[in-house]
Amino acid sequence: MSLLVSLSTFIVATLALISFESLQTPDAHALRSTPAPKKKQTRAAYRADLDRVIAENNIPCKVSLDCEAIPLGSKSCGGPTEYVIMSQSTRMKAQAAVSDLTKVITEMDQEANREGGLMGTCEVMVKPELQCSAGVCLKAESKSN
């Protein structure tokens, strides 16, 4: 009988301990299902991600009007540091990722400009003219006379 009482006491104590611990700690399942925060990358890594997203979602252009140049980055005097060229269909297919990455890169540049007190040449980055060549959007070659 004393073995039965000891076993019962052990089970009750164990259950009480488990119940108490579950009140004190977050749900283990919730901890596993919550994604880890993304580690901040370098600008070059985000730019590589953008290039990868564009390549993986590429939809060839048919005519030059299918192409667009999206401003990217931020110069200290204002305006983009460059333009990313892709077909409108590619941008629409990967709109969320393209938008998120261009925003992150631009904000990183703005922060670096503020923190570093950087000054630039204040050159205006002109949006390039585009052409569709063999299904690929490209910066149009300048015509020299």
Task: Establish if 124 belongs to a structural domain.
Answer: yes
Confidence at residue 46, expressed as pLDDT on a 0 to 100 scale: 97
Task: Establish if 38 belongs to a structural domain.
Answer: no
Confidence of residue 125 (pLDDT cuts 50, 70, 90): confident
- Cα separation of 33 and 39, whole Å? 18
pTM of the model: 0.68
What does the mean pLDDT of the chain come to?
Answer: 79
Task: Establish if 95 belongs to a structural domain.
Answer: yes
**What token pair was written down for 42?**
């370098």
Average the pLDDT over 12-20 and give the result: 44
Q: How many degrees, rounded to 5, is the angle at CA 64 between CA 61 and CA 66? A: 50
11 and 75 together in one domain: no
Q: Is the pLDDT of residue 32 over 50?
A: no
Task: Establish if 121 belongs to a structural domain.
Answer: yes
User: pLDDT tens digits, residue range 34-83?
Assistant: 333 455 799 999 999 999 999 999 999 999 999 999 999 999 888 999 99
Confidence at residue 1, expressed as pLDDT on a 0 to 100 scale: 52
- Cα separation of 89 and 82, whole Å? 20
The number of folded domains in the chain is 2
- Cα separation of 135 and 63, whole Å? 8
9 and 64 together in one domain: no
How far does CA 50 lie from the centroid of its chain? 8
Confidence at residue 71, expressed as pLDDT on a 0 to 100 scale: 97
- Cα separation of 123 and 13, whole Å? 75
Q: Is the pLDDT of residue 22 over 50?
A: no
17 and 88 together in one domain: no
* Domain of residue 14, residue span: 2-33
User: pLDDT tens digits, residue range 93-121?
Assistant: 999 999 999 999 999 999 998 888 767 77
Confidence at residue 40, expressed as pLDDT on a 0 to 100 scale: 78
29 and 72 together in one domain: no
Cα dihedral 119, 105, 95, 52 in deg (nearest 10)? 120
The maximal CA–CA distance of the chain, rounded, in angstroms, is 108
123 and 79 together in one domain: yes
**8 compared with 89, residue with greater pLDDT:** 89
Confidence of residue 4 (pLDDT cuts 50, 70, 90): very low
21 and 64 together in one domain: no
